[in-house]
Amino acid sequence: MQRRRVEAAGAPAAIGPYSQAVRGGDWVFLSGQIGLDPATGELVAGGTVAEATRALDNLGEVLRAAGASFSDVVRCTIYLVDLADFSAVNEAYGARLSQPYPARATVGVASLPKGARVEIDAIALAPVG
């Protein structure tokens, strides 16, 4: 199986030594996205829900670059600095993904890059056509 890097111009560039995503055969492994505005490289204003929405927008751009969509996502992990934001993030998440929802874990963390409040990663199954 060949591995190839996925790069989406419409999503923020990686802020470390990693790829936005890697495709291996029919699988796409997306790195975590935080609520960075791709134009400025800064966190969006408005708190956790705004950051979650932007992180999902960023994931959507990377999925498109990989030839996939949210309907191909089979697994997500959400990292939250404050688990009190769980319900609010669920609303943003539920507005973007549909049934059957991907398997998911939500993890409370002490901190995230750039002071973000939420980070979301994903795995998608998107057959190469």
Per residue in 93-120, pLDDT (tens digit) is 999 999 999 999 999 999 999 999 999 9
**Domains, in order of start, for the chain:** 3-125 (3.30.1330.40)
pTM above 0.85, yes or no: yes
Per residue in 42-78, pLDDT (tens digit) is 999 999 999 999 999 999 999 999 999 999 999 999 9
Single-letter amino acid, residue 26: D
